[in-house]
């Protein structure tokens, strides 16, 4: 994943040549990195407005009581199906250049979640967890998150807490270790906070009088099942040859039966070279 290695007293040493190399190095070593100024103030305002509207609509549809029962109040899960703005966010060039370096060019979207953390609300994600909740580590990154910061992540607004390096171990450290080594991510609106899907993290407490909003994405290697069946949702609605089609999983669908498997290899629903 790193640009190149040089010899350092007989040991390999990472060499970085540009800002992107440094971001990749931070994700590799610490498990996270922040890129600032990806969205403008106007774009953040627009996204904030859209998130509030989606949040209200889902309360109308499911009721707040039901969403609380499911620990799903304040999490919006189908924005890209409803609004092309969020489809474009999935393919944001700043995000894609990092995703393609870390996961590869065949990475697919695992989830896109809007987050609206109301003041004084104990978020169900306010406990340390992994978004890619596995009890093993691989020698390649399997899942990478890209969270657009819409409202400032500060001490007061409850910016995400991370425990650097925990993406490299299959074991979850003790509560004492987590609390003693956690670092709060402080980031301006418009930033993107990247983190390895295995990194232990939690939402902070929002002690302001305004919501803290964000849009989280997770990208994985294409053989990993998605949180929602995006490929099914978009199957007859988009150009199958587009980048968006590949990223939402339309190039890595298992054939539905033997007849669909026994087509010419270049017509397979799980396309050659996807990995
Ligand atoms: O709201 C946050 O800061 C973190 C949210 C979170 O933990 C998640 O989406 O997995």
Check: CB of residue 44 under 8 Å from CB of residue 150. yes
**Residues shown for the chain:** 275
The answer to whether position 172 is within a domain reads yes
216 CA → ligand 1 middle, Å? 8
Question: Which has more pLDDT, 235 or 39?
Answer: 39
Burial 59-93 (b: 16+ CB within 10 A, else e): eeeeeeeebeeeeebbbbebbbeeeeebbebbebe
Sequence-ordered list of residues with C-beta below 8 angstroms from that of 80, at least 6 positions apart, any chain: 86, 87, 89, 90, 112, 230, 248
Residue 49 tokens read as 């407005």
Q: Given the CA of residue 147, which atom of ligand 1 is nearest to it?
A: 9
Confidence of residue 1 (pLDDT cuts 50, 70, 90): low
Q: Given the CA of residue 125, which atom of ligand 1 is nearest to it?
A: 7
* Alpha helices, DSSP H, located in 71-211: 79-82, 84-90, 93-102, 175-181
Confidence of residue 3 (pLDDT cuts 50, 70, 90): low
Rounded to two decimals, what is the model's pTM? 0.95
The answer to whether position 13 is within a domain reads no
The answer to whether position 1 is within a domain reads no
For a pocket test of ligand 1, which of 186, 202, 208, 215 has the largest count of ligand atoms closer than 8 A to its C-beta? 202
The answer to whether position 249 is within a domain reads no
Q: How many domains does the chain have?
A: 1
Q: Given the CA of residue 185, which atom of ligand 1 is nearest to it?
A: 3
pLDDT tens-digit profile of 63-114? Answer: 999 999 999 999 999 999 999 999 999 999 999 999 999 999 999 999 999 9
pLDDT tens-digit profile of 19-71? Answer: 999 999 999 999 999 999 999 999 999 999 999 999 999 999 999 999 999 99
At 204 the pLDDT is 94
Q: Which residue has a Cα nearest atom 1 of ligand 1?
A: 203
For residues 271 and 73, give the distance between their C-alpha atoms in angstroms, rounded to a whole number.
Answer: 37
At 11 the pLDDT is 87
The answer to whether position 187 is within a domain reads yes
The CATH number assigned to the domain holding 37 equals 2.60.120.620
User: 122-128 long-range contacts, Cβ below 8 Å, gap at least 24?
Assistant: 122/205, 123/74, 123/203, 124/71, 124/72, 125/202, 125/203, 126/202, 126/203, 126/204, 126/205, 127/202, 128/161, 128/163, 128/172, 128/178, 128/182, 128/200, 128/201, 128/202
pLDDT of 225 higher than 90: yes
Residue 134's domain comprises 30-228
The answer to whether position 241 is within a domain reads no
Ligand 1 pocket by Cβ (under 6 Å): 113, 115, 117, 125, 131, 160, 201-203, 214, 216
Strands 75-76, 32-35: parallel, antiparallel or unpaired by DSSP? unpaired
The answer to whether position 251 is within a domain reads no
Check: CB of residue 73 under 8 Å from CB of residue 113. no
The answer to whether position 112 is within a domain reads yes
Neighbours of 121 (CB within 10 A): 18
Neighbours of 94 (CB within 10 A): 16
Residue 211 tokens read as 């919501």
């Amino acid at each position: 994943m790193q640009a190149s290695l040089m010899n350092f007293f007989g040991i390999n040493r990472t060499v970085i040549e540009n800002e992107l190399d440094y971001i990749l190095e931070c994700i590799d070593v610490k498990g996270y990195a922040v890129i600032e100024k990806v969205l403008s103030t106007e774009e953040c305002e627009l996204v904030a407005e859209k998130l509030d509207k989606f949040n209200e609509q889902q309360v109308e549809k499911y009721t707040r009581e039901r969403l609380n029962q499911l620990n799903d109040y304040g999490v919006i899960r189908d924005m890209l199906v409803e609004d092309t703005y969020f489809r474009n966010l999935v393919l944001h060039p700043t995000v894609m250049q990092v995703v393609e370096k870390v996961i590869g060019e065949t990475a697919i979207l695992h989830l896109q979640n809007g987050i609206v953390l109301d003041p004084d609300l104990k978020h169900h994600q306010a406990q340390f967890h992994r978004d890619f909740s596995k009890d093993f580590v691989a020698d390649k990154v399997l899942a990478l998150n890209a969270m657009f910061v819409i409202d400032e992540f500060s001490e007061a607004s409850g910016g995400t807490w991370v425990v650097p390096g925990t993406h490299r171990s299959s074991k979850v450290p003790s509560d004492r270790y987590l609390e003693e080594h956690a670092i709060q991510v402080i980031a301006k609106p418009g930033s993107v906070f990247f983190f390895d899907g295995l990194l232990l993290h939690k939402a902070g407490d929002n002690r302001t009088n305004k919501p803290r909003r964000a849009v989280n994405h997770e990208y994985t290697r294409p053989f990993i099942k998605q949180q929602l069946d995006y490929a099914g949702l978009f199957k007859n609605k988009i150009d199958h040859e587009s980048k968006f089609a590949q990223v939402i999983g339309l190039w890595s669908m298992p054939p539905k039966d033997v007849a669909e498997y026994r087509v010419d290899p270049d017509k397979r629903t799980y396309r050659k070279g996807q990995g």
